[in-house]
Chain A
């Protein structure tokens, strides 16, 4: 059988095998969970725990992070009582169970998918879960990270295990060299546009190829983060020297000789040469252009040089209706050039694109230029904020006219006070352009941090490449 422990195995097969406790006749396998992150939204699961009179079975493997509901403008402002209640609940639930919390006032606070890697809690070979679909992010380290619902969160809290059925395996290879100004976000959106928002449903994705190898850890985190937007519950990149270099010296990662020994194990975590995948996709990295979304699903993505699609030109009536509905919501005309779409606001942040490299890429474009529209920049963590300020990036954002705020999920989730007003159009580094995602009636265009910066200084969706060329 392909993928059995004796034959050639993919990276995912190896991760699966190393976490399998027992497999039932029906194929369900009980898996050991190495790390479990909880956040304010995990209250349903803690309530289930209380109903059973149970406690967290392994608090030493469970970590709390306040991110979804935290306000990003904190000093001197009173917090909305319903939001404060969400933060308090998380504090109570973690404290009562002896779970370490990176709370609102912790110097390491930030978005869970930024904090985990930053603190060395995310390591290669781990199975990591969290009640958040973007837990796929952690796959950047060759870990197996996936999002779970509240019932599953409760199950992990009580048992540190989870029943799963083995997904199929998909490899997405991107070879070639990316052009200047093109990044992981453009790769990810190109993949989603090609295979669809449900294209990788039921699959564990491994990203491979020279363009992926050339990505920094920040880039790999962005790429794996967006796996769920192609329908894949998890996406991963095999560990290499880039991974090891990032992890050395992280507080919760092994240290000294332990680290070196671990690194040897981690570098062996890769797909065997003749391992079989259930599905293979290949993209040419050198052909990838800066991508923006025009519709209400991440699959509605096109190179910035293109025009809004015309539903009349689509033969499939279902697809045509879907486009018509998206254009009505987004207030776009068929055939309208994407570079002629004016914007009202920009947002730089979220678990997709709020790391130091993302902020540098945006600042490079914004430096010495003025934003034509208002906007918010929310760094992914307090440590990212501190680093950005040390590099003077905050000054660049502020001088361009953008607001520099505290870390959190901010304007990506529409639940912490940061929202896009109804009818407003936002160029955003986030992950979902769903209707109402950034606030009721909000219109979202997804793109990379550099592309958001280009949109900010242009006042419309714009190609970042000429703006970068002017600089070099």
Chain B
């Protein structure tokens, strides 16, 4: 996983609350292989009209914002389904950080697993950033080490779970850490089988019951 330390990049304001995962990537595109890239489907139905033409006044379609690597949105960004494809769409488009007052829990977790920083800011600070970007098309600097976002005269703090911060700073992958815990897992299983003997499914492939 690519580490995230400090990023200075163009940012796009998306002044909407509840940008859910169905907006981030509509379900009909999720059959495709990741190898094809999901960036073209990011916010598809907000970016394009029914006949496939770009919606001119959508911020991400405006020339200065097209190359954004940072998105600033309102509360509850990424609410909804667990589809990691929502994060793939952002990452494949080139987005490396989303700034919002709150995030869907599963989305935020998926984001961190793909090196995308979910930076949580206060409502007022978020509005200030949106206002600034609407006026000036500024670049933002996001510093994960110091947990600050700065642009021109503005400098605001952001919050992130400390564990996620460490993981992003180092680009760590959980699986290798887990595999090193094999002994602890074996010990847990041994104890657990006497405490909760009813955990194991009774049949591997039952004949199937006939009533509900």
Query: A126-B199, A435-B23 in contact; A100/B181 too (CB < 8 A)?
Result: no
**B31 close to A83 (CB less than 8 A):** yes
Q: Are B163 and A253 in contact (CB under 8 A)?
A: no
Number of A positions contacting B (CB below 8 A): 94
Please report the C-alpha to C-alpha distance between residue A251 and residue B201 in the assembled complex, in whole angstroms: 9
Task: Say whether, besides A201-B104, A441-B50, A30 and B34 are in contact (CB < 8 Å).
Answer: no
> Any chain A CB within 8 A of the CB of B69?
no
* Contact of A383 with B212 at beta-carbon distance under 8 Å, contacts A151-B113, A197-B76, A434-B20 already known: yes
CA A131 to CA B83, docked complex, whole Å: 7
Q: Is B122 an interface residue (CB 8 A)?
A: no
Nearest-Cβ distance from residue A417 to partner chain B, whole angstroms: 10
Kindly list chain B residues whose C-beta atoms are within 8 Å of the C-beta of A286.
Answer: none
A255 to B197, CA, bound (A): 12
Known: A152-B113, A201-B102, A435-B22. Is A258-B83 also a contact (CB below 8 A)?
A: no
Query: How far, in Å, is B158 (CB) from chain A's closest CB?
Result: 16
Given A252-B201, A440-B26, is A165 in contact with B163 using a C-beta cutoff of 8 Å? yes
For residue A22, CB closer than 8 A to chain B, the reply is yes
Known: A383-B209, A435-B23. A149 touches B31 (CB 8 A): no
Contact A159 B198 (CB under 8 A): no
**Chain A, 315-357, contact with B by CB distance < 8 Å: what is the 0/1 string?**
0001001100100000000000000000000000000000010
Once A251-B209, A434-B22 are accepted as A-B contacts, the answer to whether A152 and B34 lie under 8 Å apart by CB is no
Q: Per-residue 0/1 for B112-155: is the Cβ within 8 Å of any A Cβ (1 yes, 0 no)?
A: 01100000000000010000000000000000000000000000
Complex Cα–Cα for A52 and B175 (A): 11
A117-125, A208-216, A452-460, A464-472 - the one binding chain B = A117-125
Counting contact residues on chain B (CB < 8 A from A), the size range is 35 or more
CB pair A197 B18 closer than 8 Å: yes
Q: Verify if B84 is at the interface (C-beta below 8 Å from A).
A: yes
CA distance A299 to B20 in the complex (A): 13
Please measure, in the bound complex, the distance between the C-alpha atom of A252 and the C-alpha atom of B210, giving whole angstroms: 14
Expressed in whole angstroms, the Cα–Cα distance for A386 and B210 within the complex equals 9
Tell whether, in the assembled complex, residue B106 and residue A155 are in contact, meaning their CB atoms are under 8 Å apart. no
Pair A432/B80 contact, Cβ less than 8 Å? yes
B83 to chain A: which residues have CB within 8 Å? 41, 149
Instruction: Give the distance to chain A from B209, nearest Cβ to Cβ, in Å.
Output: 5
A161 touches B212 (CB 8 A): no
For A18, what are the chain B residues with a Cβ–Cβ distance below 8 Å? 192, 195-196
Whole-angstrom distance from the CB of A82 to the nearest CB of chain B? 5
Contacting residues of chain B (20-61) with chain A, CB-CB under 8 angstroms: 20, 22-23, 26-28, 30-31, 34, 45, 50
CA distance A100 to B31 in the complex (A): 23
Within 46-73 of A, Cβ neighbours of B (below 8 Å) are at 47, 52, 60-61, 69
Closest beta carbon of chain A to B11's beta carbon, Å? 19
Q: Are B34 and A198 in contact (CB under 8 A)?
A: no
From A120, A133, A201, A296, give the contact of B18 (CB < 8 A).
A296
Contacts of A318 in B (CB 8 A): 17, 74, 127
Contacts known (A149-B87, A197-B18); A253 close to B202, Cβ less than 8 A: yes
B208, A251: Cβ atoms closer than 8 Å: yes
Chain B's closest residue to A118 (CB) is B212
Hey, what's the 0/1 contact readout for A427-459 against B, CB within 8 Å counting as 1? 000001011110011000000000000000000
Cα–Cα distance between A152 and B83 once the two chains are bound (Å): 11
Q: Are B79 and A44 in contact (CB under 8 A)?
A: no
Q: Is the CB of A251 within 8 A of B199?
A: no
Decide: A387 near B212, CB < 8 A? Known: A82-B31, A415-B31: yes
Within the complex, the shortest CB–CB distance from A279 to chain B, in Å, comes to: 15
User: A415 and B30 in contact (CB under 8 A), knowing A26-B162, A149-B106, A252-B206?
Assistant: yes
Question: B17's closest neighbor in chain A, by CB?
Answer: A322
Q: Are B18 and A436 in contact (CB under 8 A)?
A: no
Complex CA gap A322/B199 in Å reads 46
Q: Check A306 for interface membership: any CB of B closer than 8 A.
A: no
Contact: B178 with A148, CB < 8 Å?
A: no
| Separation of A381 and B210 alpha carbons in the complex (Å) | 12
Q: How far is the CB of B86 from chain A (nearest CB, A)?
A: 9
Shortest A449–chain B CB gap in Å is: 16
Complex contacts, B79 vs chain A, CB 8 Å? 197-198, 231, 297
A residues in contact with B23, CB < 8 Å: 434-436
Tell whether, in the assembled complex, residue B76 and residue A198 are in contact, meaning their CB atoms are under 8 Å apart. Answer: yes
Q: Tell whether, in the assembled complex, residue A155 and residue B201 are in contact, meaning their CB atoms are under 8 Å apart.
A: no
Q: Is A21 an interface position by the 8 A CB rule?
A: yes
A108-B208 in contact (CB<8A): yes
Query: What residue of chain B has the Cβ atom nearest to residue A100's Cβ?
Result: B205
Q: Contacts A47-B34, A231-B79 known; A32 to B22 CB distance under 8 Å?
A: no
| A201, B209: Cβ atoms closer than 8 Å | no
Q: Mark B69-88, 1 if CB is under 8 A from A, else 0.
A: 00000111001111111010
Contact of B163 among A21, A27, A108, A383 (CB under 8 A): A27
Within the complex, what minimum Cβ distance (angstroms) separates B172 from chain A? 11
Given that A32-B192, A432-B22, A440-B50 are known contacts, is A251 also in contact with B175, CB under 8 Å in the complex? no
Residue numbers in B under 8 Å from A121 (CB-CB): 201
CB of B204 within 8 A of CB of A21, answer no
Check A198–B198 contact: CB distance below 8 A. Answer: no
Near B by CB (< 8 A), chain A positions 342-392 give: 356, 381, 383-384, 386-387
Q: B198 near A148 (CB under 8 angstroms)?
A: no
Query: Chain B nearest CB: distance from A132 CB in Å?
Result: 6
B106 touches A34 (CB 8 A): no
Contacts of A86 on B, CB cut-off 8 Å?
A: 31
14 intermolecular pairs with C-beta atoms under 8 Å apart: A44-B34, A52-B175, A133-B80, A149-B106, A149-B113, A152-B110, A152-B113, A161-B178, A253-B202, A254-B202, A258-B198, A258-B202, A318-B74, A434-B20
8 A-B pairs closest in CB distance: A149-B110, A262-B198, A151-B113, A149-B84, A251-B206, A150-B84, A147-B82, A415-B27
Interface residues of A (CB under 8 A from B): 18, 21-22, 26-28, 30, 32, 34-35, 41, 44, 47, 52, 60-61, 69, 82-83, 85-86, 100, 106-108, 118-121, 123, 125-126, 131-133, 135, 147-152, 154-155, 158-161, 163, 165, 196-198, 201-202, 228, 231, 233, 249-255, 258-259, 261-262, 265, 296-297, 299, 318, 321-322, 325, 356, 381, 383-384, 386-387, 413-415, 422, 432, 434-437, 440-441
